[in-house]
Structure 1
Amino acid sequence: MIHLTNITKQHGHRVLFKNAGCQILPASRTGLVGPNGAGKSTIFRLINGEEGLDGGDITCSKKTVIGYFSQDVGDMAGRSALAEVIAASEKTVRLGQEITAMEAQMCEPMDDDAMAQLLERYGDVQQEYEQRGGYDLESRAQAVLTGLGIGPDDYNRPVESFSGGWKMRIALARILTLNPDVLLLDEPTNHLDLESIIWLENWLNDEYQGSLLMTSHDRDFMNRLVTRIIEVGNGTITTYGGNYDFYLRERDIRREQLIASHRRQQEMLAKEEDFIARFAARASHAAQVQSRVKKLEKIDRIELPQEQRLVRFDFAEPPRSGDDVLAFKDLAKVWQREDGRDLPVFSGVSGLVQRGDKIAVVGINGAGKSTFLKVLSEQVAPSQGTVTVGANVFPGYFSQHSMDLLDPKKTVYETVQDALPQLTVGVLRNLCAAFLFPGDDVEKRVDKLSGGEKSRLVLATLLGRPLNLLILDEPTNHLDIQSREVLLEALQGFAGTVLIVSHDRHFLRSLVNRVFEIDHGVMTPFAGGYEYYLEKTGNWG
């Protein structure tokens, strides 16, 4: 369907691809992976025609409809949410308008030849309109908006009244409603809650029939959707059959094979070069030496790709807390709305958090998970009830708001040093490297960091402190898969207690041993991990 052949692309002095290629096949489901800056988003823009090639070809049928969702949604204003979504299907809307105009023409008197031409054109337009789903365009747009968390009450809200995260959902709804032949999704789950992620997962599996090329930081989402992986990195593009987990295994196998081949080639080259060096001056061996020189010139040298070295940081053992870390009884929280009316969040919530617990707090969007963590961490006072902190408990709290408290003028290193003045330079640099700020990256200023980098920086300052209770509200937001794995490994090795809200199912499945579910203002504890919770509730998605 789409063929990328011998493509070369360079940004400044950096070569992203050189004579690389891949294919997007009909009805294929492909994940696009690679380190930050390798060129994943460039691949999307090349396919979509937003950037040009330095060499090679991209071929695609002119009739192929491509839908591209990126993190840059542009300006949205002047329409309702529903109208904004429908407007993306511009060609379909125009066809509908043409059908209406032609139906009006048919009511006017005209000669037989003109009527015959009009009817022929009407049939062609009607067929294309039907193929594009024109007759159910509005109902499809409504269904997609609802699935992404924007219900009927908000269909007619001005699009400019939505926050940035909700505008991203509207932008995603535009592309899904278009129902293109090829769907390019660049991090579609970034601003979605778990319910919307599961809805999107099911829609792509059950409703969408075209080709999908996507990037995602959500490992479960990727695994459940894709059957191929295209890896971008080291100036080339490599295709793997299978989902993301298969790709990780296969990549390691291929790398081991490449290392073995490289070692054998180096041994062979060393012998040949030794022979040439020893006998180059002897006339009796001139023919043999010349033959081996020509042989070496023709050999295609195996090059090992650069391997991103991950630094492990040995976190200090946190002070031991009492067995009962947090006890809460009859907790209730009520927020007051702008119009003065009360907005109850939860009530009558009682429970106990014990030392060593790693607890996921789950519930639908708006259930009160973040408010619950704020009350437990004493960020806000409860409207009713008590929270008792146990003996020798040293808590740390993370939320997306934590990133706003960073000093934009300071560097990564200065930020970590300010938070952890007792650590030596070497230990601080090692901590930064463990959270993917190696070498000169520690000199980056905070105001130049991406959302994911700021999140990693705050988490580094938190996990580097001698805390024994971590209360984490969406720490995986903005983090790519590699960063999530770094955080997951750190928390798995953390000897203290953790309460966490996250939409990453793989992360929760790999970490927690208990679950607190908040539903309709009531908290229900589950004495098992995330998989146990799913089995008990049937919330498989």
Structure 2
Amino acid sequence: MLNVSNISKIQSSETLYSGGTFQINPGEKVGLVGPNGTGKTTLFRMIIGEEKPDEGQISFPDKLRWAYFSQKVGEMAGQTAKEVVMSGDVKISELGARLKEYEEKLVDCANMSEDEMNDVLMKMGDVQSEFEKRGGYDLETRAEEVLTGLGIMPVDHNKMIEDFSGGWKMRIALARVLVINPELILMDEPTNYLDMESILWLEEWLKNFKGGIFMTTHDRDFMNNVCNKIIEIAHKRITTYTGNYDFYEKERDLRRDQLIAQASRQADMLAKEEEFIAKFKARASHAAQVQSRVKKLEKIDRIEVPAEEETINFQFPTPPRGGDDVVIIKDLSKSWPLSDGSAHEVFHGLSTTVKRTNKIAVVGVNGAGKSTLLKCITAHTQPTAGSVAIGPSIKIGYFSQYSLEVLNPEASVFDEVRKDLPTASDGYIRNLLAAFLFRGQDVDKKVKYLSGGEKSRLVMAVLLSQNNNFLVLDEPTNHLDIKSREVLLDALKRYEGTVMFVSHDRHFLSELAENVYEVDKGEVRIFPGSYVEYMERQ
């Protein structure tokens, strides 16, 4: 279905990959993985024809129906959400227009000859058959189902696209791709901007989808549950693994161990051969043997073991011990005023005490009020009623998407940390940054050139190194790739303070959360126990 043969790509004088070969067969669901900057999006762009490989070929059948979802949704205007989704399949739109033409011709059938009418009916029958085959007759129903599944309720299906925010437009663009129902779907980060309910719905839809899928995502559980093949870009190579993400991790490590063993055996053999050559090269009686072994060594391809990314075991400072009662919340309520003078109640009547070292996940659909709850606790907004009392000796470290905007764009990564940790040594700062994947020249890069994920890592590195003993984190996993999420997760698991956080990453939630606060329909329900236990009760 899709064949990638011996491709090489150079970008900004740097080789992304060379000799890359893989194929995607009908019905296969394939995940693309690799560190940021290795060329995953570039590979998608080459497949859809927006870029060309420097060497090699990418091919698929001429009549293959494929669709591509990316983070760049383009301009969408002048249509309702449902119309945008339904217009995604250009062929269905064309067939629908032709059907309408034939129907209009048949209105005047009284003035048509029998041959003319038969000709119109025959052509109309062919178009109807193709229209039905492509799902034209149930297109509107499918559009409504997919929009609703992605969290856009029926009341908003006929809302103009201009009235939706960027995140909701992403969902509409994704719905348009799914409704096309192609033979191959290419998706670059489909779970971005989705809440948990929408992620679960999309996961189930893709599992039931009969066609092929090629996607990249930073959500390892999503990839685990959907994909049956993994393609990795690493060390300028493209490697295929037949299995899900968990299988890929184990198989990758196993292959590396085998390669190290092969390289070690080869090194021993080469050393013995070179020792023989050095010992007997001056003896005429051994000249033929020496020459034979020299030629043998020249023909041997040396086994290269790619350098493994160093893991920095950074020891974060122990936060100062605060009171056992970190936050005492009494009868907390929050409403937002509406333009018509009424009020929208986000939640009401919340009373609870957050205890020291608790790690609490705040969950709920988009718009339920998760961020509002965190803002009330951190005094970034005032409650409508009730009180929030911070315990003695509690110092809050707060992370939100706004935290990225207050970074100094002209400062270097190193200087931005130095500003917030004025008494730390240069060595401490470099080790801290290395633990958060800023290594070598990365520490001198200006903030304005950082990606969203790099900025998130920078802010989190500082928060974890200050004397904060209560971290309140609103979507800390946004923009982070899988490796960065694992680094953050490990740091937070070892953190000895209290954490309250919002995330849509199930792996992150399952590994970290010890209690769950669910914000839903004006209430905050508290579930003692882990996120896994919470999900089992649903």
TM-score of the alignment, normalized to the shorter chain, above 0.5: yes
Aligned residues: 536
In structure 1, runs of 5+ residues without a counterpart are: none
What amino acid is the match of 2:128?
Answer: Q
For 1:339, the equivalent position in structure 2 comes to: 340
> Does the alignment pair 1:32 with 2:32?
yes
For 1:177, the equivalent position in structure 2 comes to: 179
Question: In the aligned structure 1, how far is the partner of 2:304 from the partner of 2:123?
Answer: 59
For 1:382, the equivalent position in structure 2 comes to: 383
TM superposition shift of 1:517: 1.5
For 1:421, the equivalent position in structure 2 comes to: 422
For 2:526, the equivalent position in structure 1 comes to: 525
TM superposition shift of 1:432: 1.0
Q: Deviations over 1:272-297 (max 9, x none)?
A: 22222333333222211221122122
TM superposition shift of 1:325: 1.0
SS at match of 1:313: coil
SS at match of 2:495: coil
For 1:238, the equivalent position in structure 2 comes to: 239
What does residue range 70-469 of structure 1 map to in structure 2 within 5 Å?
A: 70-106=70-106, 107-108=108-109, 109-111=111-113, 114-206=116-208, 208-469=209-470
For 2:499, the equivalent position in structure 1 comes to: 498
Q: Deviations over 1:140-181 (max 9, x none)?
A: 112212222222332233323322222211211111111111
Q: Deviations over 1:457-489 (max 9, x none)?
A: 111111110111111111111111111100000
Alpha carbons of 1:490 and 1:292: their partners in 2 closer, same or farther (altered >3 Å)?
Answer: same
TM superposition shift of 1:501: 0.9
TM superposition shift of 1:102: 2.2
For 1:7, the equivalent position in structure 2 comes to: 7
Question: In the aligned structure 1, how far is the partner of 2:158 from the partner of 2:281?
Answer: 84
For 2:17, the equivalent position in structure 1 comes to: 17
Q: Is the 8 A contact 1:28 1:227 kept in 2?
A: yes
Q: Deviations over 1:377-413 (max 9, x none)?
A: 1221211111121121111111111111111111111
What amino acid is the match of 1:388?
Answer: A
Q: Deviations over 1:251-292 (max 9, x none)?
A: 111111111111111111122222223333332222112211
Comparing 367-376 with 516-525, greater Cα deviation is found at: 516-525
For 1:63, the equivalent position in structure 2 comes to: 63
What amino acid is the match of 2:494?
Answer: G
Q: Is the 8 A contact 2:16 2:39 kept in 1?
A: yes
Question: In the aligned structure 1, how far is the partner of 2:475 from the partner of 2:402?
Answer: 11
Identity of aligned residues (%): 55
What amino acid is the match of 2:42?
Answer: T
Comparing 484-493 with 276-285, greater Cα deviation is found at: 276-285
Comparing 143-152 with 354-363, greater Cα deviation is found at: 143-152
TM superposition shift of 1:105: 3.0
Comparing 112-121 with 435-444, greater Cα deviation is found at: 112-121
Question: In the aligned structure 2, how far is the partner of 1:79 from the partner of 1:522?
Answer: 35
Question: In the aligned structure 2, how far is the partner of 1:275 from the partner of 1:20?
Answer: 39
TM-score (norm 1): 0.96
Q: Is the 8 A contact 1:33 1:230 kept in 2?
A: yes
SS at match of 1:289: helix
Comparing 146-155 with 87-96, greater Cα deviation is found at: 146-155
What amino acid is the match of 1:141?
Answer: A
TM superposition shift of 1:112: 5.3
TM superposition shift of 1:118: 3.9
What amino acid is the match of 1:98?
Answer: R
What amino acid is the match of 2:389?
Answer: T
Question: In the aligned structure 2, how far is the partner of 1:204 from the partner of 1:223?
Answer: 12
Comparing 107-116 with 525-534, greater Cα deviation is found at: 107-116
Question: In the aligned structure 2, how far is the partner of 1:48 from the partner of 1:257?
Answer: 36
For 2:490, the equivalent position in structure 1 comes to: 489
Question: In the aligned structure 2, how far is the partner of 1:118 from the partner of 1:275?
Answer: 88
For 1:47, the equivalent position in structure 2 comes to: 47
TM superposition shift of 1:111: 5.0
Comparing 137-146 with 20-29, greater Cα deviation is found at: 137-146
Question: In the aligned structure 1, how far is the partner of 2:280 from the partner of 2:20?
Answer: 41
Q: Deviations over 1:12-46 (max 9, x none)?
A: 32222222211111011111101112121122112
What amino acid is the match of 1:88?
Answer: G
What amino acid is the match of 2:373?
Answer: F
For 1:534, the equivalent position in structure 2 comes to: 535
Question: In the aligned structure 2, how far is the partner of 1:45 from the partner of 1:407?
Answer: 32
Q: Deviations over 1:34-69 (max 9, x none)?
A: 111212112211221221122222221111111111
In structure 2, runs of 5+ residues without a counterpart are: none
TM superposition shift of 1:120: 3.9
Q: Is the 8 A contact 1:48 1:66 kept in 2?
A: no
Question: In the aligned structure 2, how far is the partner of 1:225 from the partner of 1:427?
Answer: 41
SS at match of 1:135: coil
TM superposition shift of 1:110: 4.7
SS at match of 1:335: strand
Comparing 221-230 with 486-495, greater Cα deviation is found at: 221-230
Question: In the aligned structure 1, how far is the partner of 2:369 from the partner of 2:103?
Answer: 53
SS at match of 1:99: helix
Q: CA RMSD in A?
A: 1.6
What amino acid is the match of 1:448?
Answer: Y
Q: Is the 8 A contact 1:39 1:233 kept in 2?
A: no
What amino acid is the match of 1:215?
Answer: T
TM superposition shift of 1:130: 1.5
TM superposition shift of 1:227: 1.1
> Does the alignment pair 1:514 with 2:515?
yes
SS at match of 1:134: coil
What amino acid is the match of 1:442?
Answer: V
Q: Deviations over 1:171-201 (max 9, x none)?
A: 1111111111100111011111111111111
Q: Is the 8 A contact 1:231 1:238 kept in 2?
A: yes
Q: Is the 8 A contact 2:229 2:243 kept in 1?
A: yes
Q: Is the 8 A contact 2:35 2:481 kept in 1?
A: no
Q: Deviations over 1:348-405 (max 9, x none)?
A: 1000111111111112222211111111112212111111211211111111111111
Q: Deviations over 1:279-336 (max 9, x none)?
A: 3333222211221122122222211123222322210011111111111110111111
Q: Is the 8 A contact 1:195 1:365 kept in 2?
A: no
